[in-house]
Amino acid sequence: MHIFSMAFRDANAYNNIGISNTGATNVANLDGGHYSYSNQALQSAGLKPGQPFSANDFTFTWPNVQVGVGGFDNYQANGQSITLTLPTNGATTLAFLGTSTGGTALAQENWSMDHHHHPIH
C-alpha cells in the first residue's frame, strides 16, 4: 500500500515518489517498474499540491511537493508502524487515502487511537 494522505502526519515520513509529469515518469517509481500517477491527470481531477479535497466524507490534503524534481509524495507501507497523534478528543475514525501495487492490499484491524490502545472497528 502507498499512502498519499493521512489527516495528521509528518510529511517527512514520506519515503516514495508516485507522481510524475506526463512523459517524464523516470523520476517516480510507485510500483518498482517506474509506473506512476500523472500529475496533469490528477490536477485535472481536482487533486492539486497542498490543497484539501474530500472523499467519502473525509477531508484530505494532497501532498505539497513539486512534481518532477524527486520529492517524496507518499508513504510506502511494508509492515511498518505509523505513529499518529490523536487529533481530536473522542475521534473514532481514521482514514487513509492510498493505492496498492504488486498484489492485494490487506487491511489490518490492529489500530490503536491512544496510549490505552483502544481499537478502532
Q: What is the pLDDT of residues 42-91, one digit of tens each?
A: 999 999 999 998 888 888 888 888 887 778 888 887 777 766 666 667 77
Please indicate, yes or no, if residue 69 is contained in any of the structural domains. yes
Backbone angles phi, psi at 46, to 5 degrees: 100, 0
End-to-end CA distance of the chain: 20
Task: Tell me, yes or no, if the pTM score tops 0.85.
Answer: no
Distance of CA 71 to the CA centre of its chain: 14
Q: What is the pLDDT of residue 114?
A: 44
Number of compact structural domains in the chain: 1
Please indicate, yes or no, if residue 70 is contained in any of the structural domains. yes
Q: What is the pLDDT of residue 111?
A: 47
In angstroms, the CA 72 to CA 103 distance is 22
Instruction: Answer yes or no: is pLDDT of 40 > 90.
Output: yes
Please indicate, yes or no, if residue 27 is contained in any of the structural domains. yes
Domain coverage including residue 35: 2-99
Pairing of strands 75-76, 52-55: unpaired
Q: What is the pLDDT of residue 51?
A: 93
Please indicate, yes or no, if residue 30 is contained in any of the structural domains. yes
